[in-house]
Structure 1
Amino acid sequence: MADDRAPRPGSVSVARRIVIYRHGICMWGGDHNHHDRIDRWNQRPASYRLQVAGDQPSGVVDYNMYTAFRTQFDNAADKDLVVIELSTLGGDPEVARMMGEDVRFASETEPQRRFVFLGKAVIYSAGVTFMSFFARSNRYHARGTRLMIHERKLSKSLVIDGPLTTCIAVVRATLNEIECSIAMQNEGFENLILGSNVTIDEVMQKAPSNWYLEAQEAKTLGLIETVL
């Protein structure tokens, strides 16, 4: 049997997937005939599944990660199937939203393509935010992966000093900031639980104290498609 890791005459070569994990980024993709491979990833040789390409940013979700992600995401523009692997302890939620919006926009403007999330080891905080931009049917986790869902945090000193009307403006500006952040946070929670057995009330009850989930539990709750 021919090895499908190598391009054959007249075939479309399997090129790239994106992998964002604690040691770096790489990319894999394929044409539409390769979508069934998702159910067989765990049968692939490690050298095939973890081929490192390009620069290797840290596991923190930050602008360096976004730059590497965006570069390789653009390089996979001709692939119908793009698998994005992630392992992270968290980072900047706005960067996670930027990455997620790139995936969402491409999914909506190019419906013939499929974008799949594969979580590995740990998906904490901003990593869950990024995952929430994928349809539930396109969320996969490696065995033993842990998720952590929590509320956004704010650390800020509020100094009130000046005319009373100015003091009101300072307080109101901080309150507006908090309310806006809560709204964005809850939008992410709603996206995360869409199509699952989890209610927004349950998330809001557990998130303030950091809600940890094992991959199989996340599958049982309907937050992900399956565990590989």
Structure 2
Amino acid sequence: MKKYILFDHDGVLVDTEPWYFQAGRRALADIGVTLDKDRYLQDMSQGMGTWVQAREAGIDERVISRQREARDAYYQEYLRTEAIEIDGVLEVLAELSQYVRMAIVTTAKRVDFELIHEHRQIRSFMDFVLVREDYERSKPHPEPYLTGLKRFGATGEETLVVEDSSRGLASAVAAGIDCAVVRNGFTATQDFSKATYRIDILGELKDIVLRYDERPYTNLAQ
């Protein structure tokens, strides 16, 4: 039985990833650059993102810095105005809280995380939250999840990571922690072959954390 869960945030607990992409695409469109989604997802899986394509288009670093601020402003606009809830999350967290201790390990900036959760109840189920400012090296490096283990005083064997991206999966694997990848249409084309579990919805986590037979449990098409 697992005793601890470390949740990724964006795409797992809230549906924000498409809006982060849209904000970046809008910021690049302002300067005449088209952000290709497939390339963006590929770059994100390696811990990079929007600005790789801007640099390849010959955009000056000073302009990139300015448009980064524009991207952040657009993203926060979407966080305030768009529906980002994922159905059933609170109910699942309430049930899981009877069996495990939980925390969030996210690459989200603190200002964005606070905005998202200003009027939401997700944090009430968490022992702690680690945002981007709380560690030095981001996913796919193992540091974020190793920091989560340290905060819990837990071992990798008694912990489960829940992710939706190959970048996050790589971080969990490098940290020596089993990872359940939950279906997310935005990241569905990424490589999840190293996941211990692949699930359709968060509600399937209860069976995973309570199972004594730790053989891989998958129910998605390979």
Which structure features the higher share of strand residues? 1
**Do they fold alike, i.e. is TM over 0.5?**
no
Normalised by the length of structure 1, the TM-score is 0.30
> Which has the larger Rg?
1
Normalised by the length of structure 2, the TM-score is 0.31
